[in-house]
């Protein structure tokens, strides 16, 4: 227990005993003052460390915001023609775990948020089962505009958009990335191997460990394979623990 926690526990104890009718504790007022003064002094470096973390998180927020501004009303590939919204990505700028999917679907295109449909609900449940909240991770896609009729993004579209997700990963600098589905894994890795062979193995995406797994939309159609995704998630979790 650090000094701040000690002071909080002391305050709580005083409130508790005060509520029971006690008017003093067997400790002098001077001693309490000293303890609280030490608390401030001892906690000062911790506060300054916290400030550094805040600055770092603020820098990352700013860098992501600048990237979003750079993308602007993007017309860099033909997917711009059918989109309602650009789906930039969302989550914590200092996430330790990042998910990269394929591209927005209908719900995502309408709401300008990644993974909000049925597949998104399944992804949220996976994140929670991994012991995290959705807002603690970062979620993005290989392409930021919805392909017509949910077709796979084409090579030229991927190469136009991929630099943006690379920049997001570079800014956030997570400890682990999980790619979701065949298109995402193959685009990131530049390999044509089937997702069934890629999943379950760690690769590297710009020096960040990358675990490919199935897309949640695939799991909606093939729920029997959920255990495979859970096995991949457990490997990602143990990598996070090792790098923590």
Residues that bind ligand SF4 (CB under 6 A): 71, 74, 76-77, 79-80, 86, 143-145, 157, 160-161
**Taking the complex as a whole, how short is the minimal distance between the CB of residue 70 and ligand SF4, in angstroms?**
11
Q: Both tokens of residue 28?
A: 């002098």
**Taking the complex as a whole, how short is the minimal distance between the CB of residue 158 and ligand SF4, in angstroms?**
9
Q: Both tokens of residue 243?
A: 């790098």
**Taking the complex as a whole, how short is the minimal distance between the CB of residue 146 and ligand SF4, in angstroms?**
9
Q: Which is nearer to ligand SF4, 160 or 187 (CB)?
A: 160
Q: Which is nearer to ligand SF4, 67 or 189 (CB)?
A: 67
Q: Specify the residue for token string 């003093």.
A: 24
Residues whose CB falls within 8 Å of the CB of residue 205, separated by 6 or more in sequence, listed in order? 169, 177, 179, 188, 189
**Taking the complex as a whole, how short is the minimal distance between the CB of residue 36 and ligand SF4, in angstroms?**
54
Q: Which is nearer to ligand SF4, 81 or 224 (CB)?
A: 81
Q: Specify the residue for token string 């894994």.
A: 185
Q: 224 φ, ψ to 5°?
A: -65, -20
Q: 126 φ, ψ to 5°?
A: -65, -45
Q: Which is nearer to ligand SF4, 85 or 124 (CB)?
A: 85
Q: Which is nearer to ligand SF4, 71 or 228 (CB)?
A: 71
**Taking the complex as a whole, how short is the minimal distance between the CB of residue 187 and ligand SF4, in angstroms?**
12
Please count the other Cβ atoms lying within 10 Å of the Cβ belonging to residue 188.
24
Distance CA 91, CA 135 (A): 5
């Amino acid at each position: 227990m650090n000094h701040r926690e000690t002071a909080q526990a002391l305050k709580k104890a005083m409130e508790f005993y005060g509520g029971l009718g006690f008017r003093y504790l067997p400790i002098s007022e001077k001693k309490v003052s000293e303890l609280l003064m030490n608390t401030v002094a001892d906690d000062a470096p911790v506060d300054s460390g916290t400030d550094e973390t805040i600055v770092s998180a603020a820098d990352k927020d700013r860098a992501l915001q600048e990237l979003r501004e750079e993308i602007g009303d993007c017309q860099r590939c033909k997917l711009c023609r059918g989109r309602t919204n650009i789906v930039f990505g969302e989550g914590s700028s200092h996430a330790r775990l990042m998910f990269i999917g394929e591209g927005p679907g209908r719900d995502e295109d309408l709401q300008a948020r990644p993974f909000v449909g049925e597949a998104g609900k399944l992804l949220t449940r996976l994140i929670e089962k991994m012991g995290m909240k959705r807002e603690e991770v970062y979620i993005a896609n290989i392409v930021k505009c919805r392909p017509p009729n949910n077709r796979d993004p084409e090579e030229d579209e991927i190469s136009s958009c991929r630099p943006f997700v690379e920049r997001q990963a570079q800014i956030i600098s997570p400890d682990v990335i999980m790619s979701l589905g065949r298109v995402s894994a193959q685009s990131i890795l530049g390999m044509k191997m089937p997702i069934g062979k890629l999943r379950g193995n760690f690769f590297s995406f710009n020096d960040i460990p990358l675990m490919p797994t199935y897309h949640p939309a695939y799991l909606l159609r093939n729920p029997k394979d959920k255990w495979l995704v859970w096995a991949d998630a457990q490997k990602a979790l143990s990598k996070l623990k090792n790098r923590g």
